[in-house]
Amino acid sequence: MELMISRGELCSALQEIDEILADVEQVDLDEDEQHELLERRAFVLRSLGQLR
């Protein structure tokens, strides 16, 4: 069965990735904060992978 995704959902997921990457680039994040942001990014990417 093919899963349908709306353009809005895709844009929202891509925006989330952009925000996460921007946050990770900040040098003042501690290791726990960096780990949390990278986990969020991985979750979004996995979710996008399931939408194909």
Dist CA 43 CA 37 (whole Å): 10
3-state SS string for 1-29: CCCCCCHHHHHHHHHHHHHHHHHHCCCCC
- For residue 14 the two structure tokens come to 């891509």
CA nearest neighbour of 20 among 5, 35, 9: 35
7-26 pLDDT per residue, tens: 788 878 888 888 877 877 76
| Average pLDDT rounded to a whole number, residues 34-48 | 81
pTM above 0.95, yes or no: no
| Average pLDDT rounded to a whole number, residues 21-46 | 79
Rounded (5°) CA angle 42-28-35: 25
